[in-house]
Amino acid sequence: MIRSNAGRCPVSAQCGILGVAKSACYWMLERPEAERADPYEKDVGRVWRDSGKVYGARRIRHALGHEGATLSRRRVNRIMKGNGMAGSYSKAAYRPRPARPNDDPAPDILAREFNGYAPRTHLASGPAYVRVGGSWAYVCLPGGLADRQIAGHSVGVRHDADLVCFCSIGS
């Protein structure tokens, strides 16, 4: 503080206001404060290396707690950051899920052959969501597999099977 205000106010006046001896002030200005090394720095590094450079601050703190050292997670984190240490993240992996009983695949009646049908004999459809005013409306536009043209339409406020079943097919 005294150093930052030295251009505006004399050092002797600042020392008098703060009640500090001028000699102590000049002694501190000549010798910048040395950084203090944390006594647990080596322990944190040792635990991190022993873990195969995997452990993060929480696990290191837990491991050092078993050894009898009491450190906060933030202190361990500060030591790790200062020394370029970081915990490793697990890679996202595929996790098999049990199949649900209602998720049986639909039978492939058309055998994936979409060519050679007469128009409007084989249709495929899916609902679309349209915002109307403050609510949603559902639109069903069935298309012919033979000619890839829209064969009809249906609009409703509920998303159910009736939307597809009662679709008006034009001629």
Dihedral angle, C-alpha 87, 48, 74, 68, nearest 10 °: 140
Range list of H helices, 51-171: 57-66, 73-82, 161-165
Residue ranges per domain, the chain? Answer: 41-82, 123-169
Per-residue DSSP letter, 157: S
Please say if the pLDDT value at position 7 is more than 90.
Answer: no
pLDDT at 56: 94
pLDDT digits (tens, 9 = 90+) for 77-123: 999 999 999 999 888 888 887 777 666 677 777 676 666 677 777 78
What is the pTM (predicted TM-score) of this model?
A: 0.40
3-state secondary structure 47-74: HHHHCCCCCCHHHHHHHHHHCCCCCCHH
